[in-house]
Structure 1
């Protein structure tokens, strides 16, 4: 096994390597398995940031105008 990790629990020593898990564990603040402290690697990947790609010329529409009449 390799010692490379993005996040490691200091309690149970479980490791995570994906950017999404790194970001989630930053928010969570503790190991979801044992509630131990987390150690973040200095080169831990960051999750991609969502950007607003909506077109400014497209007007907002109410959900019923987009989805249609509800079925009974």
Structure 2
């Protein structure tokens, strides 16, 4: 079992979460949308696997480098 932490690549707020815990995802699937400077920036899965944990909530401020989602390969 390999766990991969997916980190925010930009500072902003969590606009919309597109996945749920337990959901299967493929590499480059959209996990959530970050709003930053009036732009919507998708946070993509870096691997194929299953979403094990979502560590953010919609509306939450998110700092660059913060772990947002954990995926099990």
TM range (shorter): under 0.3
Instruction: Report the TM-score, using the length of structure 2 for normalisation.
Output: 0.21
**Structure richer in helix, relative to its length:** 1
Q: Which structure has the larger Rg over C-alpha atoms?
A: 1
**Structure richer in strand, relative to its length:** 2
Instruction: Report the TM-score, using the length of structure 1 for normalisation.
Output: 0.22
